[in-house]
Amino acid sequence: MDSLMKPELFPTVQEVMDNATVSVIVIAAIFFILKCNTLSSPLGCLINLVYSQYVRKKCEKNIEVMSFGAPIIPGDITLNDLYNIIPMNPPVSTTDLTGKELLEMLEENLERTFSCDPYLQMGGYVKRCLGLTLYFKIENPSGHRIQKLFIGNEEADPDHLYTAAFVTMQGFPQKYGRNRKNHSERIIDVMQNYLARHSPIKAELRGTVIVV
């Protein structure tokens, strides 16, 4: 391996690494914006709030869903932090799905989070959502955990078509929904625009996922 290393390339490699760490200050955070909470988190609430405040004006969404996030410590938030939250700056996407599909997707997510079989547990986090309120029982069998699901102030209608915003198929698997659209807005740009108008930022839990 040592024979393959070329010292003359070291400065070039270091320059690439330096440029890859973007340190432009975007905004200040006034407390620890955490991801690490199974049901909900301040970081998930923040990103979904970004969706709702900025993209809602153009997409007329009902629901926001996200599945990303690296924690942010108090202090300056840099562009590098935003890329750690959602890498690669994907476009904001929307899809239409029925209440039945939404229930199925959330039940699938709950099973992957709380399955009795450890080999079926994947990820360890319930999807971060805004625009809905979910009541569920952890101990129930797969497919029967959700007790009530509300969209806004109304109970979800299995036959009604709802619109949801998300980024990448990790947020919404391809098998759910129809009329998928990738919008011109990219999530890092959306976050920058939102954060520029809300400094310092404070994200709070909203109680969208509730154990009964």
- pTM more than 0.95: no
Dist CA 23 CA 3 (whole Å)? 34
- Can you say whether the dihedral through the CA atoms of 89, 22, 125, 146 is positive or negative? negative
Residue 212: predicted pLDDT: 93
Residue 122: per-residue pLDDT: 86
The whole-number average pLDDT for the span 68-75 is: 71
The residue ranking higher by pLDDT, 71 or 112, is 112
- Give the mean model confidence (pLDDT) for residues 195-208: 78
Q: Which two tokens stand for residue 13?
A: 């490699």
- pLDDT given at position 22: 47
pLDDT at 60 over 90: no
Q: What percent of the chain has pLDDT over 90?
A: 30
Residue 23 has pLDDT above 70, yes or no: no
161-166/63-66 β-pairing:
parallel
- Cβ contact 39:209 at 8 Å: yes
Per-residue pLDDT band for 27 (boundaries 50, 70, 90) equals very low
Average pLDDT score over residue span 58-73: 65
**Summary mean pLDDT of the chain:** 78
In the chain, domain spans: 24-211
Extract the tokens encoding 6. 């070329």
Q: What confidence score (pLDDT) does residue 28 get?
A: 47
Q: pLDDT by residue (tens digit) across 157-198?
A: 999 999 888 888 888 889 999 999 998 889 888 888 888 888
The residues with which 93 forms a beta bridge, in sequence order, are 166, 182
Which of the four pLDDT bands, split at 50, 70 and 90, describes residue 21? very low
CATH number given to 24-211: 3.90.780.10
Q: Average pLDDT for residues 52-74, to the nearest whole number?
A: 64
Tell me the C-alpha distance between 43 and 202, whole Å. Answer: 10
Q: At 116, list the tokens.
A: 């009795």
Band of residue 111 on the pLDDT scale cut at 50, 70, 90: very high
DSSP string, 100-129: HHHHHHHHHHHHHHH-SSGGG--SS-PPEE
Q: Residue 190: is it exposed, middle or buried by C-beta count within 10 angstroms (0-12/13-18/19+)?
A: buried
Work out the pLDDT band at 101, boundaries 50, 70, 90: very high
